[in-house]
Structure 1
Amino acid sequence: MNSSVIISLPNSDDTNVIEPVSLMYYNSDTPSINSRINLKQNLFSFLLEGQKSVQYAGTQVKIDANQFLLLSSGNCLMSEKKAAPDGEYSSILLFFDNKLLIDFFMRRPQKMNSLKHKNNQTPIVSFEKDTFLINFIDSLGFMLKSNLQLSCEMRKLKLEELLLHLSEYYPEKIQQLHSLSFEANDDLLIRQAITDGINNTMTVEELAFLCHMSLSTFKRRFAIIYGTSPNKWLLEKRMQKAAQLLKQGDFKVSEIYFELGYESLSSFIQSFKQIHGITPKQYQMAN
């Protein structure tokens, strides 16, 4: 999959009308890395087989088939892969409007007010599958495989069933869910995204996407905050991390370049020499 293509989900029909709740089955035998996803609605992603990683500005979560995710509407990067060479990646996706979520909480003000308000807002909430949730996900799979036309009311009922269970048994996570509409000012988003960018393979273009900005706007705002370009800043920070790892002596040069997201050892050596003036091996021997 071309990671530079923006995929909007859920897809609308020919009338460009998006249902308040929609349900779909997704499977693939081809891994995807950092696909740019624009979620037009909130999403419960029930992983059936494989592994999934989701990155928003400032936060990243990885799950396996024993877990599932609740994702806020907005821009994110998704990576999906099979857990075994002969397996596949498969999931059930439940999209829903934020209005339905707000309505759910408005009808239960006492329960929500009883929860302690904490500054733990996040665009991603992960859950472990308990017995009820396993059966609930199985029921969604049965509905999809039956080829019956599910009414909007039936889909709303299934969403309500899920939210009721989560609010009953996972109240702290529901508090995060209650604050799901993730808002942050531009400067905060940039700071969160760029800090995560040190430790993974995200490009400047992907960072701009997570911050809901064009590349030119992202670079301009970044220069105002940090006084340099994002490419230069990331290079310096990644090479600082490389130097720290080399000093510790627990990593070989051939291991560090992969850890920092470089595709080849030669490009890593070139970058390291650009910042430190010597090769990683020379640096390690000198320290």
Structure 2
Amino acid sequence: MKQSILPANHPTADSQNTMEQVAVMLYNPDVANINGKIELRQNLFSFLLEGQKSVQYAGSQVTINPDQFLLLSSGNCLMSEKIAAPGGRYRSILLFADNKVLADFFLRHPQAPAQKKQEAPFLVFEKDAFLINFIESLGFILASGVPPSAELRKVKLEELLLYLSEHYPEKMQGLRNFNDETDDDLLIRQAVTANMYNTVTVEELAFLCHMSLSTFKRRFARIYGTSPNKWLLEKRMQKAAQLLKQGECKVSEIYFELGYENLSSFIQSFKQVHGITPKQFQLSN
């Protein structure tokens, strides 16, 4: 799967290989994207206009609709963009801001200490009349065909941050206190626990943990005493057996819930762990 880096380098007048502190762009892909590997070099406001967006970090995930928007912290994540209905489109506006810009804002606009630390690497906001108009203003700026100046981009970001700080002070303070320096072993535990039953591969888990595949496998084996593929297989088949015992789900429903693309591969995995097919297991219980 292709890995993308966002934002891409935007040459400035001072340096030809420096990312802008604040960048804004339209993002309207023609086809749906599932679990695209994204390396976010900066924090990202993702304003969804049409479609559905899901984002997955090592230990948490979130899905939004066009009535909401996201603030994502920099780091590795998996992104999925889906077209909501036949004949529909996926449309969004992306506003990037580096840590220095956010740190400068919080320095100039101090807030009372947050009651608790922000645990998830994202914040979800509901759109209101002001935010809808703000997003539309970004669309007008981009539609003009004239690239917005660095000063204008910073002014628009400042406008947004001030509004969010006044109306969502706890969320914004949580962002200020978010610490992305996580112990590697804890990050692995968070990643595998959060994605135990999801359609996430071992390679994708390694990416979410900011590790090479070999490093992830080595550290995983040290923590769990087995390989990640074997561990995930056993956990997913234990879940499958539990669902079959409850008798509320059909085999054809369970395989999809556990992230298998087809029934035959699920049956093969189940038999590998339990020695019999899911149907035989269900009849015996």
Bin the TM-score by the shorter chain. over 0.9
The correspondence for 1:276, drawn from 271, 274, 277, is: 274
Say which SS state the counterpart of residue 28 (structure 1) adopts.
coil
2:230 equivalent to 1:232:
yes
Say which SS state the counterpart of residue 197 (structure 2) adopts.
coil
Q: Deviations over 1:41-97 (max 9, x none)?
A: 100000000000000000000001111000111100000011111011010000011
2:151 equivalent to 1:150:
no
Cα distance in 2 for partners of 1:120, 1:286 equals 47
**Identity, % of aligned pairs?**
69
More displaced stretch, 46-55 vs 25-34: 25-34
Q: Which residue number in structure 2 is paired with residue 12 of structure 1?
A: 9
Measure how far apart 1:120 and its partner are. 3.2
Assess, with a 3 A threshold, how the Cα gap between structure 1 residues 116 and 180 changes in structure 2: closer, same or farther.
closer
Matches within 5 A, 1:202-221: 202-221=200-219
Matches within 5 A, 1:186-197: 186-197=184-195
User: Residue 30 of structure 1 aligns to which amino acid in structure 2?
Assistant: V
Measure how far apart 1:106 and its partner are. 1.1
User: Residue 146 of structure 1 aligns to which amino acid in structure 2?
Assistant: S
Query: What TM-score, normalized to structure 2?
Result: 0.96
CA RMSD of the aligned region, Å?
A: 1.1
Assess, with a 3 A threshold, how the Cα gap between structure 1 residues 279 and 179 changes in structure 2: closer, same or farther.
same
Q: Which residue number in structure 1 is paired with residue 98 of structure 2?
A: 97
Measure how far apart 1:282 and its partner are. 1.3
Q: Which residue number in structure 2 is paired with residue 45 of structure 1?
A: 46
Question: CA contact under 8 A between 2:47 and 2:93: conserved in structure 1?
Answer: yes
Q: How many residues align?
A: 281
User: Residue 71 of structure 1 aligns to which amino acid in structure 2?
Assistant: L
Matches within 5 A, 1:149-188: 149-188=147-186
Q: Which residue number in structure 1 is paired with residue 254 of structure 2?
A: 256
Q: Which residue number in structure 1 is paired with residue 136 of structure 2?
A: 138
Cα distance in 2 for partners of 1:120, 1:244 equals 34
More displaced stretch, 262-271 vs 205-214: 262-271
Q: Which residue number in structure 2 is paired with residue 65 of structure 1?
A: 66
Following TM superposition, the consecutive aligned residue runs of length 4 or more in structure 1 with deviations greater than 4 angstroms are: none
Cα distance in 1 for partners of 2:79, 2:195 equals 15
Cα distance in 2 for partners of 1:253, 1:178 equals 46
Measure how far apart 1:249 and its partner are. 1.1
Query: What TM-score, normalized to structure 1?
Result: 0.95
Q: Which residue number in structure 1 is paired with residue 116 of structure 2?
A: 118
- In structure 1, list runs of 5 or more residues that go unmatched: none
